[in-house]
Each structure stands twice: as structure tokens, then as C-alpha cells.
A and B are shown apart, each in its own frame.
Chain A
């Protein structure tokens, strides 16, 4: 690395001091449960947009998916469009306003509590909380690994200590300051990320001679696609993979649909809609949310793909080769060699900010899921009074689990963790959450059935059919002696394409076959009159 460690060290220390100051502000402002869980339901729209975006986009989105674009090209830009159109516009305008209103009407402070109360079911709340508690640490563990690897290489801290330091720092402000601290620090981190990515965008096009020139050079490289990648459908960096090929299925089902639609049902993001005062704040947040995602995901993928042109010019090889065959090394390798030193420092901070903002929202959501939804409401039937204390204990517990996972899980599983979590959320939560907000006829039986069908269909597909996870988990191999129980195209079709429609269908059929919820309860859920 070309950057001097002392300068980077100073930058990191200053950044950490600001983060702690914001954490302290959150602690000072937290007086009751609504403050701790929902930042008092009065968050500023810009803070909401930045915090939503920063929690959404983690280091792995920039490094991992940027690297994916470097290896497989610009087809992944469809994900950016989905992220903006579905992840911001549909999410804020359609889901956000209804979530916020129903959250107020039902006095819900977490995502599981919102659906639990809408369907008058402690089981739904407890089961959703348990699902988050069990599977989100996998996702958090992978973000933790990304952040710790950064600290290891940039600050010369040993990896195991880096995991611990990072976890303790984030834990400190999440546990004490609650969601106010999480959202303030997220907003700061989001601001840093926005500036970092904007500079990267401009410098990359400038370095490669302009927008059209850079794209044209990349288009002209199509003949350089390695044979083994061409064989599975790679046709070049500015064209879509061959229709129906393994690369196409992964791009279309796992990445574009899985992540693009799965985002709607992410508990740590959905809960943010309940943090604002009114629909006006959500409308205003759309303004900054769209450009923010464009600057994060859009720039990472465009730059990732264009890194091929840079490496061909300077080293006569494609990015994947320059990165030694490791997709995750493409972005760091490109930034280290193509960008000026001062920017490398800034970008490393950007990455640290991206990791910390995602981690903090995960820790908060896991803590409320285990402390509030699972333990207090489901196990204790709401009998214990001190929600904040229990949630703090819950956060500490889930952080511990994430740290342990970061130490012990094999690389192969960790790399799949984000996709597993997104897919599971889409199948388990999306039909239930959509029905809760938009379909009054959907009842408790329909919601419970869809939650169970979505969860288990998704887990079954991951364990026994979808090759990437099934092979890494090894359960199918141990039970049946084969990596996957189905063969051919099925093994590259993401669980989201199978489990989510199945869960939607279950929700509709079971709801229609059983009695509707009482009119009185529905009026309470959907009331527009609730005012203070």
C-alpha cells in the first residue's frame, strides 16, 4: 500500500471521535422506548435517507458487487436501477408511508412487532424475531469480516484484534445511544461514502479519457473474456450474459431479483420508515435517497467494470487477472493502483464507514429482535417492563454471536451470507409484510402460513438445491451423498424465485379459506386519524 499509516491512523482517529460524539448525542437524547427503538419517531428526512442508504450499502456491496462487475460486466447495472426504483421509490412512497402510519396506529416499535400486531399474533412476532436473531448474525458476521480485513491491511492491526476492536466500537454506541445514535452516525458515514464515491466516479472517467471513450474501450475488450467464463455465458463487459446460461441465472435471479426485491423486506431498513414524523418526511427523503444509491451502487459497478480498461492499458491484462483471480480484490487493487494517495486514504475511510453503518443497524435490529420481540413478547408474553435494558442485553448477545461467527465460519459460507439473508427475508417476510400493508383481507392464518412456508421453502432450497449454498453447507452431501438433489438449471435458480411466489400463493389461499379479521381491528390498523 502506498499510503503512510500515520496519516491514515490520524484520519481514522478523527473519524472515530466524531462517531463517538454522535453516539453520545444519541445517548443524551434517549429517554424512553420510542427514542431507543425508533429515534423518537421524529428523524429528519435527510438523516433518514442517508441512514437508510448507508445501512443498505455495505462494504460488500461496494467491494463485492463492484468486483462482480469487474469480472462479469455492466449487466449488474440493472440491480442499481432496481435499488433506486424498488429500494428507494417503491419502498419509501408505497411501503414507507403505510408502514409509518400502521406503526403509529398499533404502537409497534420493531418490524416483527408491526406484523405481529397487525395479525394479532405473538407467534408471528416471536418467530420473526427468532429468524432475525438466528440468520442476521451470518450477514453481520460477513460485514464484520469485511471491515476487519480493511483494518488489518490499512492499519496493520492483526485480524483477530481488528474484529474485536470494530465490534466493540460499534457496540459501544449502538448499546448506549440506541437508534438515534445509529441513525446519526449512519448519516455521517453516508455523507463520507457519497463524497468518496463521487470522487471515484469523476477520477475514473477522467483517467480513461471520458464517458463514451471509456465505454467504447470496454466494449472493444469483449474478445478478451477468458474461455472458462465464456463457456458459462459471459459475452463481454458491456453486454448481457447469454440468456439462460449459469451467469445469466445468477445475475437475474440472485442479484437483480434477490437483492433488488429482497430489500423491501429487510427488517433493519423497514423499521426506519417508522422513525419519521409524517409522510412528508418520507417524500423528502426520496429526493436524496435516489441520488445516494446511484452514487454508491451505480458508481461501484460502473467503476468495477471499467477497471478492465485501466488494467489492460497499464498491465495488458483484465481485472480478474490483475486481482489474481479473486473477485474481492478487483476494487481494492484498482483503487490502490489507479487513484492518487490522498484519495486512497479517504476511500479507506469510506469503506470503514460503509461497514460500520451496516453493522450498527444490524446490531440494533438483532438486539431488538432477540430482546424485545423474541424474549419479552414471545417468551415472557410482554410481562417484563424494562424493554430498553433487555434490548441492550440482546444487542450484546447478538454482537457476541456475530464476533464468534466472524472467527469460526469458513470463508465459503461467509461469502454467501448476504445473499442467504436477503433471500430468506424476501421469502419469509415480503408476502406477510406486503399483505399487512395492502390487503385487508389477509388474516392471521394466511400470514402465519406464508411466514412458515416462505422460511422453510427458502431454507430447503438453500440446503438441498441451490448449488452455491448447498455445496458450501455440505448437508445435502452428508445426508444423500450428492451436492444437490436436483440437477441442471435448477441448481442456479435462486431460492427467491421459488420460495417467495410459493409464500405469496400460500398467503392468498389460506387467507381466503379462513375467516377475515374483525372490522374493528382492521379500522384500528388502517386508521388515518391517529394524531397526537
Chain B
């Protein structure tokens, strides 16, 4: 996979990108949430 034989490395490589993409998706989905319940 991706020129890396050890799955413990390519899984980490892919997880890095997936977790960053996950952060983007979370940010988009929750873009307007959390405003009303708590105003400082």
C-alpha cells in the first residue's frame, strides 16, 4: 500500500489524512451549532 509494506505504518499514514478530513467534515456539519445554548 502506497509503497509501504508494514501495515502499522501505512495505516498511520492514511489515518493522518482521514483524521484531518474528519475534522473538516465535523467543522462543516457543526458550523452553526453551539451558538444558542451558551452565549458568554
- List A residues at the B interface (Cβ < 8 Å): 41-42, 73-75, 77-78, 80-81, 84-85, 88-89, 93, 97, 100-101, 104, 211-219, 238-240, 277-291, 293-294, 298, 302, 528, 530-532
Contact = CB atoms under 8 A, between A and B. Distances in A.
B2 to A, nearest CB: 5
Given A215-B2, A284-B31, A286-B27, A77 B12 contact: yes
A152 to B, nearest CB: 33
Contacts of B4: 74, 215, 219, 238
B9 A77 contact: yes
Contacts of A211: 2-3
Given A104-B40, A212-B3, A277-B39, A283 B15 contact: no
Contacts of B24: 287, 290-291
Interface in B7-21: 8-9, 12-13, 15-17, 19-21
Nearest to A101: B38
A211 to B, nearest CB: 6
Interface of B: 2-6, 8-9, 12-13, 15-17, 19-24, 26-28, 30-35, 37-40
A413 to B, nearest CB: 31
Given A239-B5, A239-B6, A280 B33 contact: yes
Given A93-B26, A283-B30, A278 B38 contact: yes
A488 to B, nearest CB: 25
Contacts of A280: 30-35
| A contact face: mostly helix, strand, loop, or mixed | helix
A283 B27 CA distance: 5
A279 B4 CA distance: 40
A530 B23 contact: no
B20 A84 contact: yes
Given A84-B23, A219-B4, A287-B28, A531 B39 contact: yes
Contacts of A219: 3-5
B16 A74 contact: no
A240 B10 CA distance: 10
B31 to A, nearest CB: 6
A523 to B, nearest CB: 16
A295 to B, nearest CB: 8
B40 to A, nearest CB: 5
Nearest to B13: A77
Q: Which 3 A-B pairs have the closest CB atoms?
A: A287-B27, A290-B23, A279-B34
Contacts of A531: 38-40
A10 B37 CA distance: 49
A277 B22 CA distance: 24
21 contacts: A78-B12, A81-B19, A89-B22, A89-B23, A89-B26, A211-B2, A211-B3, A214-B3, A238-B3, A239-B8, A279-B37, A283-B30, A284-B31, A287-B23, A287-B26, A287-B28, A291-B20, A291-B24, A293-B20, A298-B20, A530-B40
Given A41-B40, A531-B39, A290 B6 contact: no
Contact of B6 (A41, A80, A81, A240): A240
Nearest to A285: B27
A298 B35 CA distance: 32
A97 B28 contact: no
A42 to B, nearest CB: 8
Contacts of A214: 3
Given A240-B8, A290-B24, A89 B34 contact: no
Contacts of B31: 280, 283-284, 287
Nearest to A45: B27
B38 A528 contact: yes
A84 B26 CA distance: 13
A278 B8 contact: no
A3 B31 CA distance: 44
A286 B8 contact: no
Given A286-B26, A291-B20, A215 B34 contact: no
Contacts of B20: 84, 290-291, 293-294, 298
A278 B37 CA distance: 9
Contacts of A85: 15, 19
Nearest to A256: B12
Contacts of A290: 19-24, 27
Nearest to A292: B20
B37 to A, nearest CB: 6
Given A89-B19, A277-B40, A278-B39, A288 B27 contact: yes
Given A78-B12, A219-B5, A238-B6, A284 B35 contact: no
Given A84-B19, A211-B3, A287-B24, A74 B9 contact: yes
Nearest to A93: B26
Contact of A238 (B9, B17, B21, B33): B9
B33 A283 contact: yes
Of A73, A283, A291, the most chain B CB neighbours within 10 A belong to A283
A212 B31 CA distance: 35
